[in-house]
Structure 1
């Protein structure tokens, strides 16, 4: 599967804000966006007037890169969101939030969504008593997620537990870090997504 393999900090600089793709590093002075808050490349410092289409495209790319999904996957999420009842933009964000890799990141068992995705693929988690290995699985209220016994001493999990206090755990989830467990209490709401996202721009882009 095609994945972005270059420096992740370039993505934050390209989108003009932190996407928190490098875990704890994003909260320190080592963050590349803090040092160079402009787009990469020779013309990165130049001010450019963006068209409406460019603004919509950048918003879509920002959200897609933040959640770590490919273009084809993202379009399928949009089509699914559009077919659901309610506000399409909100539905899209809810589907992305309910991905298993995102939930594990939100619960504080990984420093980033990318790291969470890799850990899920390696079978380091159990959901409702069954081992899971598909990062795109959709969680639902009542689901119980737990780190497998043999994976609890993995350094990255221990580090992530120390960092979660900086970003907090959303209200729709309940994290029990001491026992390496987490529970999905409810479906996410728009208020649970604090990151600055204008989902209406994405809807306008795909509606053309």
Structure 2
């Protein structure tokens, strides 16, 4: 499956804000954005006026990078959101939040979405009792995510079992059992990311 394999900190610098792609490092003094705020590249310090199209493009790129998607995956998700009833921008964010790798991250099983994606790919989780290793699978209300019994004994998951993660209200987590459940569809006010989804809609509507 195609994925970005370059330096994560470069993406944060390009967007000019923390995307929290490297877990705890993003909260420390080692964060590249804290030490060097300029945009990557030779023209990084050059000030240019950003057009409306530029603003829309940057917002789309930022959201893609938050969730770890490439263009085709993101466009497919947008097309699905557009066909759904309701507000397209809110549908888009709801679909992105319900990806398995994001749900694993939201439950506290990964320090970042990137790590959560890797854990899913390595087959550490069950969905409704069945092994799943595809990060892009979209969960529905009632689906139960469980850490595999063989994975419970690893140091990482033992540590997770000892602490309760703060989960959004559309998820129900059980740290002791290393289990989570999707109890409702995420709505716009549940998503704590600084996203202006209307800019993405404007971009794709042209």
TM-score (norm 2): 0.93
191, 197, 200: which is aligned to 1:199?
197
176, 179, 188: which is aligned to 1:178?
176
1:40 counterpart residue number: 40
Q: 1:163 to 1:51 in 2, by over 3 A?
A: farther
Q: 1:97 to 1:32 in 2, by over 3 A?
A: same
Structure 2 stretches of 5 or more lacking a match?
A: none
For the residues of structure 2 that align with 1:197 and 1:163, how far apart are their CA atoms?
29
- RMSD between aligned residues: 1.8
1:130 counterpart residue number: 130
> After superposition, what is the alpha-carbon deviation per residue over 1:21-71, rounded to whole angstroms, capped at 9, x for unaligned?
001111111111111122112322222211111110000000001101110
Do residues 15 (structure 1) and 15 (structure 2) align? Answer: yes
**Residues 142 and 183 of structure 1 are in contact (CA less than 8 Å); yes or no, is this contact kept in structure 2?**
yes
**Residues 38 and 44 of structure 1 are in contact (CA less than 8 Å); yes or no, is this contact kept in structure 2?**
yes
For the residues of structure 2 that align with 1:2 and 1:142, how far apart are their CA atoms?
29
> After superposition, what is the alpha-carbon deviation per residue over 1:141-190, rounded to whole angstroms, capped at 9, x for unaligned?
1111110111123344456678975xx32110112112211111110010
For the residues of structure 1 that align with 2:184 and 2:170, how far apart are their CA atoms?
5
Superposed counterparts of 1:1-208, under 5 Å: 1-157=1-157, 165=165, 168-208=166-206
For the residues of structure 2 that align with 1:161 and 1:191, how far apart are their CA atoms?
28
Structure 1 stretches of 5 or more lacking a match?
A: none
> After superposition, what is the alpha-carbon deviation per residue over 1:104-132, rounded to whole angstroms, capped at 9, x for unaligned?
00000111111111211211101111111
**Residues 143 and 183 of structure 1 are in contact (CA less than 8 Å); yes or no, is this contact kept in structure 2?**
yes
Q: How many residue pairs are counted as aligned between the two chains?
A: 206
Q: 1:97 to 1:171 in 2, by over 3 A?
A: same
Q: Give the helix-richer structure, 1 or 2.
A: 1
Q: 1:169 to 1:195 in 2, by over 3 A?
A: same
TM-score (norm 1): 0.93
Q: Kindly state the Cα deviation for residue 140 of structure 1 after the two structures are TM-superposed.
A: 1.2
**Residues 89 and 201 of structure 2 are in contact (CA less than 8 Å); yes or no, is this contact kept in structure 1?**
yes
For the residues of structure 2 that align with 1:185 and 1:45, how far apart are their CA atoms?
46
